[in-house]
Amino acid sequence: MSRCGMLLTACMLVATLAACGKATERERVDFERMRIQQRADLYDASHVFASGGVMQAPPTGAVSRESAADTGVIASGMYGKALATTIPIAVTPALLDTGRRQFGIYCAVCHGPAAFGGSLVAANMGPPRPPSLRRAAMLTKPIGYIYYVATNGFGRMPPYNWQLTARERWAIAAYVQQLQRTAATDSMSIRDSLNALTYARWDSIAAARRQP
């Protein structure tokens, strides 16, 4: 490379570094304003409220918007003391699509994409693993059971009543019911089913080895 070429390259490098430096400084100033802003974090102390905390208890008698809109069996999943045997809202294609999407987000990670229990989480969790929602024991339970567990949790499964509305939980129940009535014919369902069988075999072998 000629001397002129080397000089030109050096000048371009200096200009580039200078431009980057200016951009970095500008970004630093912009973001700094956000970092040092006055704000209240959750659970912090506060001199503004009489309670001395940032978070305040809701007024006596306050209910969530969901609780106010959905009451009775829609909210509880029960008729009196008995679990609902039918879905108390209209099962439409839109509801099933909502159930499919929410199942994929909250349920498939443990129960498998087709509800057979062949998920990666189940493979690594060990017994008791997330169960298949298609097994015979589940088919005999009322549909309100699916809603009840989605609402209140079960075992290591957390409750989802704070993340999903009552109607979204019913949508999941409706989608699970649809899966229970659908044969495993597509590749995803077959793979989920075979994985679940593999995990069950692992547990059976492990249980046999523990026998004296």
| CB 111 within 8 Å of CB 133 | yes
pLDDT above 90 as % of the chain: 62
pTM, two decimal places: 0.69
Rg (alpha carbons) of the chain, rounded to whole number = 28
Phi, psi values for residue 144, rounded to 5° = -60, -20
Residue 107 vs residues 118, 133, 162, 172: alpha-carbon distances, Å: 12, 10, 15, 9
**Model confidence pLDDT, tens digit, residues 34-80:** 656 667 788 888 888 888 998 888 787 665 655 556 778 999 999 98
Beta carbons of 123 and 201 less than 8 angstroms apart: no
Cα–Cα nearest to 165, from 74, 59, 72: 74
Q: Domains for the chain: give ranges and CATH numbers.
A: 71-210 (1.10.760.10)
Q: Is residue 175 over pLDDT 70? A: yes
